[in-house]
């Protein structure tokens, strides 16, 4: 039986408002049966996901970027006793890095064709807990200079698109304080000076940077990386991160973890799926096979 999708369009994603007609054309060309909703605010989008899930929607597609996926995941993970609907992503944001892990095109029409068929992945979701409460993330979270860049990037002109993140990174790097970091997992304790700690559930972030080439969303663990590069050498590390070759650099320590806590002697910002969340300290864990993703 052909499923009927509810497509929720985030018109605030990307360089300019998403054309609903473009979304409809892509769905029609792919033979996807769908109803489209266009919430005006994030709160309205959250409510649309919540109502649809509680009323038994079986297939929800999100037209937006990684932040839109994060929004839906946080709604669904907070509904007790719910059999979560199948989720799909239509890339209309400035970056939809979650899809890159599965080799799905950033082209809207090509991505829409993945809504047909039966192939569904049960994917892990991870929690983040701190003084600001509990948040979930699907793709990548980080503390340190990368999170500071994610905090600054949305303040730059939207017309810059995916370039906003590297520009924000360069701007924040100069004055960003290194910290003494303590990372504890279920198997180890690591203490060192560092510039960033990355928690990767999937492989890409920042518009195609291959930050965690060994990560997978179906193994029950996060790919944890502690970046202890000197600030003057950080710009040279960036091209390696983009290509996914930075794991060979001596400044990068990598391991896997199902649970974690991070403390810093200087307060650091935290971001999840591109959105600023709060500050350190933070702890969390992986929730295995928490959502189902249509690929």
- For the stretch 124-177, pLDDT in tens is 999 999 999 999 999 999 999 999 999 998 888 877 877 888 899 999 999 999
For the residues 1-17, what does the mean pLDDT come to? 81
Domain around 20: 4-118
- Check: CB of residue 12 under 8 Å from CB of residue 158: no
Examine the fold and report which residue of 54, 89, 118 is the final residue of a domain before the chain moves on. 118
In tens, the pLDDT along 256-267 reads: 999 999 999 999
Domains of the chain: total: 2
Mean pLDDT value of segment 46-59: 96
State the virtual CA torsion across 22, 272, 202, 101 in degrees, nearest 10: 20
- Rounded CA-CA distance 264/152 in Å is 21
pLDDT at residue 96 tops 80: yes
pTM above 0.85, yes or no: yes
What per-residue confidence (pLDDT) applies to 158?
77
145 and 51 within one domain: no
Domain boundary among 60, 94, 118: 118
Q: How far apart are CA 274 and CA 65, in angstroms?
A: 9
The CATH number of the domain holding residue 251 is 2.60.200.40
Whether residue 269 sits in one domain with residue 138? yes
Domain end position, chosen among 118, 140, 164 = 118
Task: Check whether 2 has a pLDDT greater than 90.
Answer: no
* 216 within some domain: yes
Q: Is 282 among the domain residues?
A: yes
CATH code: domain of residue 65: 3.40.50.10330
């Amino acid at each position: 039986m052909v499923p009927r999708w509810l497509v929720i369009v985030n018109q605030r994603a990307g360089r300019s408002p998403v054309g609903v007609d473009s979304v409809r054309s892509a769905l029609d060309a792919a033979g996807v049966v769908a109803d489209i909703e266009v919430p005006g605010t994030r709160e309205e989008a959250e409510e649309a996901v919540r109502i649809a899930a509680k009323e038994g929607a079986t297939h929800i597609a999100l037209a937006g970027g990684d932040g839109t996926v994060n929004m839906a995941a946080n709604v669904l993970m907070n509904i007790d006793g719910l059999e979560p609907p199948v989720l799909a992503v239509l890339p209309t944001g400035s970056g939809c890095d979650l899809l890159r892990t599965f080799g799905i095109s950033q082209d809207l029409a090509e991505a829409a064709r993945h809504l047909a068929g039966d192939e569904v992945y049960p994917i892990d979701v991870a929690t983040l807990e701190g003084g600001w409460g509990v948040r979930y993330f699907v793709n990548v979270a980080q503390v340190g200079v990368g999170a500071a860049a994610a905090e600054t990037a949305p303040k730059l002109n939207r017309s810059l698109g995916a370039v906003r993140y590297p520009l924000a990174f360069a701007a924040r790097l100069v004055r960003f304080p290194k910290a003494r970091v303590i990372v504890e997992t279920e198997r180890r304790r690591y203490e060192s000076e560092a510039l960033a700690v990355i928690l990767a559930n999937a492989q890409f972030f920042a518009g195609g940077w291959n930050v965690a080439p060994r990560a997978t969303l179906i193994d029950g663990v996060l790919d944890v990386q502690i970046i202890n590069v000197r600030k003057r050498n950080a710009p040279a590390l960036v091209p390696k991160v983009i290509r996914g070759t930075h794991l060979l650099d001596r400044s990068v320590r990598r391991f896997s973890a199902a649970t974690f806590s991070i403390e810093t002697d200087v307060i650091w910002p935290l971001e999840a799926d591109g959105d600023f969340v709060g500050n350190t300290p933070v702890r969390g864990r992986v929730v295995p096979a928490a959502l189902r993703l249509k690929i």
